[in-house]
Amino acid sequence: MPEPDLKEIAVLGCGLMGSGIAQVCAQAGYETHVLETSEERLKPGLAAIHKSWEKFAAKGVLTAEQAAAAQRRLHPTTSLRDLEKAQFVIEAVVENLAAKREVFQQLDERLPPAAIFASNTSSLSITELAASTRRPERFVGLHFFNPVPLMKLVEVARTVATDQAVFERAVAFARSLGKTPVRTGDRTGFIVNRLLVPYLLDAVRALEEGVGSIVDIDQGMKLGCGYPMGPLTLLDFVGLDTTYYIAEIMFQEFRERRFAPPPLLKRMVLAGWNGKKAGRGFYDYRQGGEPQPMNLG
């Protein structure tokens, strides 16, 4: 159910995360404007949303009518002008400070002072992003998880400057999307990546040190701890480049070895073996069917 006095949402970026966020906003009843830099860049995200709605309709998660209504509420655009009525903005553009600051600054000039700004960043400082706008008290972190339409969690992060009422409004907004919000502060990695990233990096170290094979490390954690995916499968799913980038930022922040990317991860990223999206990572996805573990030498 949408929040009573909230109607128009803007989602910046229609990549893996942005498309999922736009999808859940439209599903929840919000008029959702999703921005990309070109029609070409909008296409894969919109295709993923439609595929997801088809799946949900086929499984009875949504009725065909609910899926069609959500579709009507989704407004793709390449123009900032179409976002001017947005009351809540969620940024999910590339994980780069300069790119995020630029788009926030452009919107800050165009949108009314009451609009709330949120970033889906997983590792950059919310405070630093907020400081590039004239509304740091109306700025929060809103961190979704991949795949957004299925994962229940949203981390809601406040900075020292965030207005308490705005923070609570962001928590209520996350809940209105059918998600379970958890409250956190502007600490690099928030709650989940603070704990998840060292675990994923340790799995790579265990592989490097010959503790077990790719399959055995994954099976160990899946069957021994009840995790839905083994850590190396999860790394392929999240993206080795993404994890490497987040780990580097966390290492710079905390200067602790547990956040330092292991050499094997770096070399796989250098080789372009970034996981599922690249066709290979710890597993080979190029043949289709059951992915096979790679021979990493």
Q: Which residues are catalytic?
A: 122, 143, 155, 193
Cβ(168)–Cβ(188) below 8 Å? no
**Nearest distance from C-beta of residue 163 to ligand 3HC, angstroms:** 25
Q: How many chain residues touch ligand 3HC (CB under 6 A)? A: 16
Asked whether position 150 contacts ligand 3HC by CB under 6 A, the answer is yes
Asked whether position 147 contacts ligand 3HC by CB under 6 A, the answer is yes
240-254 vs 263-270: helix crossing angle, rounded to 10: 130
Asked whether position 231 contacts ligand 3HC by CB under 6 A, the answer is no
**CB nearer ligand 3HC, residue 151 or residue 182:** 151
d(CA 192, CA 153): 10
d(CA 96, CA 76): 23
**Nearest distance from C-beta of residue 172 to ligand 3HC, angstroms:** 22
d(CA 240, CA 250): 15
Name residue, tokens 């993206």: 239
Asked whether position 233 contacts ligand 3HC by CB under 6 A, the answer is no
DSSP string, 169-206: HHHHHHHHTT-EEEEEES-TTTTHHHHHHHHHHHHHHH
**Nearest distance from C-beta of residue 1 to ligand 3HC, angstroms:** 21
Asked whether position 146 contacts ligand 3HC by CB under 6 A, the answer is yes
Provide the binding-site residues for ligand 3HC, judged by CB under 6 A. 52, 55-56, 122, 145-147, 149-151, 193, 228-229, 234, 238, 242
